[in-house]
Amino acid sequence: MTPLAITHFTLTTALGAGNAPNAAALRQGRSGLQPCRFLDVRLPGWVGEVGGLDEPALPAALSDFDCRNNRLAWLGLQQDGFADAVARARTRWGAHRVAVLMATSTSGILQTELAYRHRGADGALPADFHYAQTHNTGSLALFAAQTLGLSGPAWVVSTACSSSAKVFAAAQRLIEAGWADAAVVGGVDSLCLTTLYGFNSLELFSPEICRPWDARRSGLSLGEAAAYALLQREASRGSEPGSEAAAGWLLGTGESSDGYHMSSPHPEGIGAIAAMRQALDSAGCDASVVDYINLHGTATPNNDAMEDRAVRAVFGDAVPCSSTKGATGHTLGAAGAVEAAIGLLALQQGFIPGGLNCGERDPALGANYVTESRAAPLRRVLSNSFGFGGSNASLLLGAA
């Protein structure tokens, strides 16, 4: 594929709103996870909660969209000059030539969960509950498109934890096919009762803070986040109005499906291997060019064991790698975009984020897992995202 310019990106997680606080926390090895006190949920476990989302914060014209997920989406769009950059792209290409490709796993389902608590005597949901603008999966793309004044192709990908890595691949295909000249891609997923109780029922929500690659790892910690990137057909072209320099490059993408199990990855990592190799092949690169791998690294026993095998099958055991979920929590449908943004920060600032909470490394895992953040000149970063149902996506990112 032809490298695609990423002119702007931003992320908002439990570490803070915008690139600067997230980069600082990752470099310093700080976690945003806290014991779970979300609403009235008192499960034993840790979550990465974004502050300031409990009260309505949307403009009046967007008030029908008001829910936790869209408040988080709004907060994320206001960071790092991202909305202004999209406005310049809209001027450059035309509103109808800028796509909006979003990702989420549960969208604003919390709004329905809360509305259900306030049903009337006849069982009806409250009159001010707006399903289409809040809970509906497609509402996220509609909200983002209206907020940003865009009218290009718009849709939402919901393939669990691979969702917001896959929108990068979808945008690349859309631009290559000539259906758009630019694309806003991203993922937004907020905490909700379904996710917390669901992962707890699956015995995947660890009572302890998550410990990727640790011998005693017992599951994941959940988080919420919004992350976006602006992809454009061309980066800077001298003095052309609206042209922008690349902040990084999308070099390659890989997608695959295990077809193995509803909630467990293929134990030998066959699908993950295929996604990583496809990302390298699409970029015309071999494994030796990758300087760092941001792992999916959920801290569940099966995922980490599978991913370790898959990484070693493709890269051997020398390439530095780590999971950043000990800092942000697992942000599910937003994880791919969050970790792509972390990969771009690592490329820009020249550092490898350490994987937190790994006190006793699992001796059965042989990849070169980095536990302390360190400076490192990076040119290419691979980011992995693997979801339920065996949906896999890998992104190869390059420095500007």
Please give the positions annotated as active site.
161, 296, 330
Tell me how many degrees the CA angle 323-328-329 measures, rounded to the nearest 5: 80
3-state class percentages of the chain: helix first, strand second, coil last, to nearest 5: 35, 20, 40
Q: What is the Cα–Cα distance from 35 to 364, expressed in whole angstroms?
A: 29
Q: What is the Cα–Cα distance from 267 to 202, expressed in whole angstroms?
A: 18
β-strand pairing of 391-399 with 380-387 = antiparallel
Length of the chain counted residue by residue? 400
Q: What is the Cα–Cα distance from 331 to 337, expressed in whole angstroms?
A: 10
| Cβ neighbours of residue 305 closer than 8 Å, sequence gap 6 or more | 267, 364, 365
> Distance from CA of residue 350 to its chain's centroid?
21
Q: Which amino acid makes up residue 19?
A: N
- Neighbour-count burial for 192-208, b at 16+ CB within 10 Å, e otherwise: bbebbeebbeeebbbeb
**Cβ(155)–Cβ(141) below 8 Å:** yes
> Distance from CA of residue 242 to its chain's centroid?
27
β-strand pairing of 222-223 with 351-352 = unpaired
If we measure between CA atoms, which residue out of 372, 59, 80 comes closest to residue 226? 80
Question: Which DSSP state fits 213?
Answer: T
For tokens 């011998």, what's the residue?
215
Question: Which DSSP state fits 49?
Answer: P
Output the CA–CA distances (angstroms, integers) from residue 223 to 34, 79, 309, in the order listed: 10, 19, 26
Q: What are phi and psi of 380, to 5 degrees?
A: -140, 135
Strand partners, 248: 6, 399
β-strand pairing of 248-257 with 4-13 = antiparallel
